[in-house]
Amino acid sequence: MQLDSLEKSDLYRHLKTVVARGPTAIVDGKRTIHLCSNDYLGLSQNKHIINKTIQALQEVSQCSSRLIAGNHPKIMELEGLLADHRRTESALVYPSGYSANLGAVTAVADKGSTIFSDELNHASIIDACRLSGATIKVFLHNDADNLHKLMHQAKGRKILITEGIFSMDGDTAKLPEICKIAKENDAITIVDDAHGDFVYGPGFSGIPAKLGTDVDIHVSSMSKGLGCFGGYVAATEPVRELLINTSRQFIYTSALPGHLCSAAIAAIPLAKKGNLQKKLYKNISYFTSAMKRLGFVLGGLSSSNQIIPVVIGKEKLAVEFSKELLKQGVFAQAIRYPTVSKGSARLRVSLTAMHAKKNLDTAIGGFEKAGRKAGVI
- Residue 175's domain is classified under what CATH number? 3.40.640.10
- Whether the Cβ atoms of residue 173 and residue 166 lie closer than 8 Å to each other: yes
- Whether the Cβ atoms of residue 258 and residue 72 lie closer than 8 Å to each other: yes
Residues 145, 221: one domain? yes
Of the three residues 271, 300, 320, the one that is the final residue of a domain is 271
Q: Tell me, yes or no, whether 154 lies in a domain.
A: yes
- The 10s digit of each residue's pLDDT in 81-133 is 999 999 999 999 999 999 999 999 999 999 999 999 999 999 999 999 999 99
Binned at pLDDT 50, 70 and 90, residue 1 comes out as: confident
Q: Which pTM value belongs to this model? A: 0.94
**pLDDT for residue 302 is more than 60:** no
Residues 108, 257: one domain? yes
- The 10s digit of each residue's pLDDT in 2-11 is 888 887 777 8
**pLDDT for residue 27 is more than 60:** yes
Average pLDDT, the chain: 95
Q: Tell me, yes or no, whether 41 lies in a domain.
A: no
Binned at pLDDT 50, 70 and 90, residue 348 comes out as: very high
**What count of Cα atoms within 13 Å lies in the side-chain half-sphere of residue 71?**
9
Chain Cα centroid distance, residue 212:
20
Residues 263, 290: one domain? no
Cβ-Cβ contacts under 8 Å for 77 (sequence gap 6 or more): 261, 265
Q: Tell me, yes or no, whether 39 lies in a domain.
A: no
For position 296, what pLDDT does the model report?
Answer: 94
Q: Tell me, yes or no, whether 201 lies in a domain.
A: yes
**pLDDT for residue 267 is more than 70:** yes
For position 301, what pLDDT does the model report?
Answer: 59
For position 273, what pLDDT does the model report?
Answer: 97
| CA-to-CA separations, 200 to 172, 206, 281, 294, in angstroms, rounded | 11, 5, 10, 28
- Exposure letters 56-69 (e unless 16+ CB within 10 A, then b): beeeeebeeebeee
CA distance 210 to 202: 6
Q: What torsion, rounded to 10 degrees, do the Cα atoms 191, 193, 197, 203 define? A: -30
Residues 263, 278: one domain? no
Q: Tell me, yes or no, whether 42 lies in a domain.
A: no
For position 249, what pLDDT does the model report?
Answer: 97
Q: For 353, phi and psi rounded to 5 degrees?
A: -70, -15
Residues 202, 297: one domain? no
> Is cis: bond before 269, omega within 30 of 0?
no
- Percent of the chain residues past pLDDT 70, beyond the cut: 99
Largest CA distance in the chain: 59
**pLDDT for residue 262 is more than 70:** yes
Binned at pLDDT 50, 70 and 90, residue 375 comes out as: confident
Binned at pLDDT 50, 70 and 90, residue 350 comes out as: very high
**Among candidates 242, 279, 260, which has minimal Cα distance to 360?**
279
> Which carries the bigger pLDDT value, residue 365 or residue 155?
365
**pLDDT for residue 143 is more than 70:** yes
Q: Tell me, yes or no, whether 40 lies in a domain.
A: no
For residue 266, give the amino acid letter. A
Chain Cα centroid distance, residue 113:
26
CA distance 333 to 126: 22
Q: What torsion, rounded to 10 degrees, do the Cα atoms 46, 47, 50, 52 define? A: -110
Residues 280, 168: one domain? no
Q: Tell me, yes or no, whether 214 lies in a domain.
A: yes
Of the three residues 271, 300, 323, the one that is the final residue of a domain is 271
Strands 334-335, 330-331: parallel, antiparallel or unpaired by DSSP? unpaired
Strands 113-118, 90-94: parallel, antiparallel or unpaired by DSSP? unpaired
Of the three residues 271, 298, 314, the one that is the final residue of a domain is 271
Residues 87, 162: one domain? yes
Residues 263, 285: one domain? no
- Whether the Cβ atoms of residue 216 and residue 190 lie closer than 8 Å to each other: yes
Residues 226, 294: one domain? no
**pLDDT for residue 312 is more than 90:** yes
Residue 351, judged by CB atoms within 10 A of its CB (0-12, 13-18, 19+), counts as buried
| CA-to-CA separations, 35 to 48, 129, 218, in angstroms, rounded | 24, 31, 27
CA distance 343 to 263: 40
CA distance 331 to 80: 37
Q: Is 273 helix (H, G, I), strand (E, B) or coil?
A: coil
Residues 186, 310: one domain? no
For position 303, what pLDDT does the model report?
Answer: 57
Residues 259, 331: one domain? no
What's the number of domains the chain is made of? 2
CA distance 256 to 126: 24
CATH number at residue 23: 3.90.1150.10
Q: Tell me, yes or no, whether 181 lies in a domain.
A: yes
**pLDDT for residue 71 is more than 80:** yes
Residues 255, 157: one domain? yes
Q: Which range marks the domain in which residue 215 is found?
A: 47-271
Dihedral of alpha carbons 32, 37, 41, 46, sign:
negative
Strands 30-34, 330-331: parallel, antiparallel or unpaired by DSSP? parallel
Q: For 228, phi and psi rounded to 5 degrees?
A: -115, -130
Chain Cα centroid distance, residue 191:
11
Q: Across residues 38-64, what is the average pLDDT?
A: 96
